[in-house]
């Protein structure tokens, strides 16, 4: 009886792990050799200025295993508050 209980506990633990792992999808981000996303362009500028603007290394934020550069602190803060709104679809590929 004890062996059966241990086996059931093990099976339940494995299923819980699988369910948790499957419920948090991470889209890989296309980065350059330095780990910088979208070639260093400011992702917020596409929305606020309707054009590509190069980001600055002093305004850098790491999200989803990538470094994101911004033109100014305001853009970086907007991104930090809602990265999914500004990050490119499909990981920037």
Q: What is the pLDDT of residues 36-46, one digit of tens each?
A: 999 999 999 99
C-alpha to C-alpha distances, 57 to 22, 48, 86, nearest whole angstrom = 34, 20, 18
Residues 6+ apart with CB under 8 A from 33: none
**Model's pTM, two decimal places?**
0.70
Q: What is the mean pLDDT of residues 50-73?
A: 97
pLDDT at 88 over 70: yes
């Amino acid at each position: 009886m004890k062996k059966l209980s241990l086996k059931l506990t093990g099976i339940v633990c494995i299923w819980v792990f699988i369910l948790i792992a499957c419920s948090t999808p991470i889209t890989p981000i296309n980065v350059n050799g330095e780990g910088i996303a979208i070639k260093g362009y400011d992702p917020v500028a596409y929305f606020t200025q309707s054009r590509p603007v190069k980001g600055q290394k002093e305004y850098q934020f790491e999200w989803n295993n990538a470094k994101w550069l911004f033109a100014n602190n305001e853009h970086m803060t907007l991104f930090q508050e809602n990265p999914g709104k500004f990050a490119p679809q499909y990981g920037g590929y």
